[in-house]
Amino acid sequence: MQIILDELGRLETETVRQIAEAGTLETLEELRVGVLGKKGRLTAILRGLKDLTVDQKRDVGGRANQLKTKLEDLIVSRREELMGASSEAGLIDITLPGRPLRYGHRHLVTVVMDQIIDIFQRMGFEIADGPDIETDYYNFSALNFPPDHPARDEQDTFYVEGDRLLRTHTSGVQVREFEKRRPPVKIIAPGLVFRNEAVNTRAHCVFHQVEGFYVDTDVSFSDLKGVLEAFVYEFFGPGVEMRYRPSFFPFTEPSAEVDIRCFLCGGKGCQVCKHEGWLEILGSGMIDPAVFKNVGYDSERVSGFAFGMGVERTAMLRYQVNDIRLLFENDIRFIRQIR
């Protein structure tokens, strides 16, 4: 046993000195293999363990493991020193041109959201915000949703606890602002909304929405059409085709949905527009008197309109994206295409 311990001591002294003297990475690697490799000197010394007792093997084995760890640490440290010295010695050609940096840019949804906000701000709309977690009152009841409306079901809405839920639209901001202000009120409310829907090429369970509403004396449906057409022609271009379709929303009466001709297929029909040639971009209508009653407005004296649009779907049309999921997956190949 003592003979093996003496050999380990000599190996340690000699190898520590050789590591310190190694002048190149190649020399250091040869030393490592020669001492610690499968056929190295340490392995050769440990072959003598077979003639020792169990207790002696334990003592010698522990000493050998300590030596191996020490030498490995010294080799790593010396390798880092040599690599640093090599760089300082001029192995990196500083005259070569640098690699160009990839600059970041805003996400497409952010760009479109800002464009929408800018257009409505130039038409005199202010910006308002509200909480992502709403109460049933602001999300449904105050907006004239009946107690048995399907939108209240868990299959459509994400409930947090009690009467609190993830808002399904930013329309709740409308009620909150009506409670704080007296007409005239002219506001847009951008933000995230959440709906318990299946994710597919044109729908997602989380998306952005911009809600707008205007209340004053003598506000008519013609005013609503004027605002929406000004937005559509400004955002999509003067040549875009748009149409109004009668619809129903609990908080507006009359109500209408606005479609534009599908940019992706030119109206011929594709998967995104469900082969109809048209794609809905927003819902709108005149604010129902029941909503005015809930917030203390006199519906005999004031009137108003409201509208809401999905930002992702608007972005899909503007930039000809054929799958809404691309806007959420953060595929770097797609992100680099949309600058």
Report DSSP state, residue 187.
E
- Answer positive or negative: Cα dihedral of 218, 284, 223, 111: positive
| Rounded distance between C-alpha atoms, residue 184 and residue 294, angstroms | 17
| Rounded distance between C-alpha atoms, residue 299 and residue 61, angstroms | 92
pLDDT for residue 317: 79
Using DSSP, state whether 294 is helix, strand or coil: helix
| Rounded distance between C-alpha atoms, residue 276 and residue 54, angstroms | 84
pLDDT for residue 92: 63
- Report the DSSP pairing between strands 126-127 and 185-194: parallel
pLDDT for residue 41: 81
Distances (CA, A) of 259 to 18, 70, 84, 109, 263: 80, 74, 64, 20, 12
Its pTM stands at 0.66
pLDDT for residue 91: 57
What are the mean pLDDT values of the chain's consecutive 10-residue runs (339 residues total)? 75 84 85 81 74 74 80 86 63 73 82 94 94 92 86 82 90 91 93 86 84 94 94 88 91 92 75 78 92 91 93 84 82 77
Q: In the structure encoding, which two tokens stand for residue 275, read together?
A: 């082969």
| Rounded distance between C-alpha atoms, residue 223 and residue 240, angstroms | 20
Ramachandran assignment for 267, one of left (phi > 0), alpha (psi -120 to 50 degrees), beta (any other): left
Using DSSP, state whether 257 is helix, strand or coil: strand
